[in-house]
Amino acid sequence: MALKAIPARKNLLARASATVAAVAGLLAGVLTGVADAHGSTTDPPSRNYGCWQRWGSDFQNPSMAQQDPMCWQAWQADTNAMWNWNGLYREGVAGNHQGQIPNGQLCSGGRTGGMRYAALDNPGQWKAVTKSRQFTLTITDQARHGADYLRVYVTKQGFNPTTQALGWNNLDLLTTTGRYAPAGQYQVAVNAGSRTGRHVVYVIWQASHSDQSYYFCSDVVLQ
Ligand SMILES: [Cu+2]
């Protein structure tokens, strides 16, 4: 842009800097949108959401290795798995979840994004929250995608997440919901039957805005 007329220059400069500010604002919005988009199971917390919640402000604290060893190994493997706790999804699965996700890789959505989430598949002493056998599960959707359905599974009695990686044959499907209109949260009532003790709750969230499927492992102790 050539600035010839001196009297207009100040005005032009002001407009130019306003434009720069507007573009910067847009960019920041886009970047924030990327960082903040999508979602996860926030109650009971998914593995990476839980790690982010507990250690996000203190992720270099070496005492995590003793206090929360599975989060420690996950942070060491790839910090982006926690910063992007809301980005554990695949696209274009067309409902063929079992076909796309191999046994042993359920918690990483079939290693979506390469190895970013792979540490979430590792068996071990993941922190587990205590829940009664009937509880309400909450998905937080920061992007307001809506849901075509939520599918909630829980591990069979006897499965041991501290020593076994999760496979489809370890799971019982408890419920498939109907659609949810776009909102900040979706809730579903879970009835885990007579199960007790340590379990993994596995959730598939099929978003509505496009064929985007999310996969979340949450560790619970049922009582
Ligand atoms: Cu999304």
Predicted pLDDT of residue 133:
98
Predicted pLDDT of residue 36:
52
Which CATH number do you get for residue 188?
2.70.50.50
Distances (CA, A) of 203 to 69, 73, 154, 164, 188: 23, 23, 9, 18, 11
Q: Is residue 27 part of a domain?
A: no
147-180 per-position pLDDT tens digit: 999 999 999 999 999 999 999 999 999 999 999 9
Among the listed residues 29, 38, 42, the one whose alpha carbon sits nearest the alpha carbon of residue 143: 38
Cβ(39)–Cβ(214) under 8 Å?
A: yes
The whole-angstrom separation of Cα 174 and Cα 195 is 12
Q: What is the mean pLDDT of the chain?
A: 89
Burial of 37 (0-12, 13-18, 19+ CB in 10 A): middle
Q: Is residue 7 part of a domain?
A: no
- What's the number of domains the chain is made of? 1
Q: Is residue 114 part of a domain?
A: yes
Q: Is residue 33 part of a domain?
A: no
Distance from the CA of 127 to the center of ligand 1, in angstroms?
Answer: 26
Q: Is residue 108 part of a domain?
A: yes
% of the chain exceeding 90 in pLDDT: 83
Distance from the CA of 90 to the center of ligand 1, in angstroms?
Answer: 10
Distance from the CA of 146 to the center of ligand 1, in angstroms?
Answer: 10
52-88 per-position pLDDT tens digit: 999 999 999 999 999 999 999 999 999 999 999 999 9
The pTM (predicted TM-score) of the whole model is: 0.84
The whole-angstrom separation of Cα 73 and Cα 66 is 11
Q: Is residue 175 part of a domain?
A: yes
Predicted pLDDT of residue 4:
41
Q: Is residue 5 part of a domain?
A: no
Quote the domain boundaries for residue 212.
38-222
Distance from the CA of 118 to the center of ligand 1, in angstroms?
Answer: 20
Q: Is residue 90 part of a domain?
A: yes
